[in-house]
């Protein structure tokens, strides 16, 4: 009986691992010349009050990890190539190949046709999760910020890459990563100070809830285009507008666009609909990190987090409208 139990447990573990590994493997059918790679990274402290300090003080180095990525180069041209890094939302890397989230795949194919390489980064699988939208605290946002800069460092060692012309984009959690990709304090703590993202296109990030810096210190070489849905009831646009203004006041090269009537995940190829499982933090106390590394107002309350509500409007079918300005942004900022 004990032997059977051990076999069943082993099968369960192996099946879970296999399921997690397939997130980017499924994407390879759309990109036949893609390369599945492992990128050395780290995890921050999980507790929000300690997350940034673990990066600032170097304690993150005690938590090494290898995250998965899919790298795709243009079929034509000799390089070195510019690159756009796609980072996923709380739905996980599985959305990169999902039939209802075609925008990233279609945009990536257009970038490749224009001579720009693409990378799809998976922040969750190596940490044992497929998604976090039901429990956002299961993976620290700060861990995913580490991944982005470590992926940039990885690209800096590839002779096929023009490291001065790397962009990043994502929505929701991926939008948070894409916005924080211009944060000097993170870059300086994690990688060489001569590395930076040339262009960042965040969409609908959670600006008020996850401990972003109340006083951002932007990397001036990063051109950022922050796009928000005016009707977003999941990650509210107002706090991002205010934070974006602070970025600009502190020297960021940033443009902020609010699209009237657009909802969260507006590039998804389905009409807006309510997702009853989406975890909403907008009724919780806002959380920002001050210059000393402490959360200004604390959302670290005891579970089950009574301030959290559920059920946000998702989707919008705006990918077709958004694709051209999206491509133009990266072409203008990544191609000489």
193-219 pLDDT, tens per residue?
A: 999 999 999 999 999 989 999 999 999
pLDDT at 20 over 50: no
Give the confidence band of 306 by pLDDT, cuts at 50, 70, 90: confident
40-51 pLDDT, tens digit per residue, is: 999 999 888 899
Buried residues in 103-141 as b, exposed as e (16+ CB within 10 A) = bbbebbebbbeebbbbbbbbbbbbbeeebbbeebbebbb
Give the confidence band of 305 by pLDDT, cuts at 50, 70, 90: low
At 123 the pLDDT is 97
Cis ω before 84 (30° cut-off from 0): no
127-174 pLDDT, tens digit per residue, is: 999 998 888 889 999 999 999 999 999 999 999 999 999 999 999 999
What is the spatial distance between Cα 175 and Cα 207, in angstroms, rounded to a whole number?
9
Greatest mean pLDDT range, 6-20, 78-92, 291-305? 78-92
What is the spatial distance between Cα 336 and Cα 331, in angstroms, rounded to a whole number?
9
pTM of the model: 0.92
23-29: average pLDDT: 93
| Residue ranges of domains in the chain | 24-334
61-78: average pLDDT: 96
Radius of gyration of the chain (CA): 19
Give the confidence band of 21 by pLDDT, cuts at 50, 70, 90: low
pLDDT at 11 over 60: no
Phi, psi (degrees; rounded to nearest 5) at 138 = -70, -25
Give the confidence band of 2 by pLDDT, cuts at 50, 70, 90: very low
The third-level CATH classification (topology) of the domain covering 24-334 is Rossmann fold (3.40.50)
What is the spatial distance between Cα 5 and Cα 10, in angstroms, rounded to a whole number?
9
At 1 the pLDDT is 43
């Amino acid at each position: 009986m004990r032997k059977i139990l051990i076999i069943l447990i082993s099968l369960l573990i192996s099946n879970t691992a296999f399921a997690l590994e397939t997130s980017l493997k499924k994407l390879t059918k759309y990109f036949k010349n893609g390369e599945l790679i492992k990128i050395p990274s780290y995890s921050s402290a999980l507790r929000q009050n300690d997350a940034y300090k673990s990066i600032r003080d170097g304690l993150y180095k005690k938590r090494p990890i290898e995250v998965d990525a899919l790298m795709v180069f243009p079929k034509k041209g000799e390089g070195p190539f510019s690159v756009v890094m796609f980072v996923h939302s709380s739905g996980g890397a599985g959305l990169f190949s999902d039939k209802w989230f075609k925008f990233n795949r279609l945009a990536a194919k257009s970038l490749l046709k224009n001579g720009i390489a693409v990378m799809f980064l998976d922040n969750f699988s190596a940490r044992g999760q497929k998604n976090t939208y039901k429990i956002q605290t299961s993976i620290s946002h700060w861990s995913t910020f580490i991944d982005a800069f470590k992926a940039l460092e990885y690209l800096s060692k590839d002779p096929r890459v023009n490291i001065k012309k790397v962009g990043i984009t994502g929505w929701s959690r991926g939008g948070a990563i894409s916005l924080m990709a211009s944060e000097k304090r993170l870059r300086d703590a994690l990688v060489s100070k001569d590395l930076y993202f040339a262009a960042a296109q965040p969409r609908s990030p959670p600006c008020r809830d996850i401990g972003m810096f109340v006083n951002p210190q932007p990397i001036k070489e990063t051109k950022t285009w922050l796009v928000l849905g005016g009707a977003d009831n999941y990650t509210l646009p107002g706090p991002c507008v205010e934070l974006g203004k602070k970025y600009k006041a502190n020297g960021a090269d940033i443009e902020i666009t609010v699209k009237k009537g657009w909802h969260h995940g507006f590039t998804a190829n389905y009409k807006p609909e309510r997702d009853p499982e989406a975890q909403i933090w907008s009724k919780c106390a806002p959380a920002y990190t001050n210059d000393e590394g402490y959360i200004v107002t604390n959302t670290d309350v005891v579970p089950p987090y009574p301030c959290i509500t559920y059920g946000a409007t998702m989707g919008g079918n705006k990918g077709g409208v958004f694709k051209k300005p999206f491509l133009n942004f990266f072409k203008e900022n990544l191609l000489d």
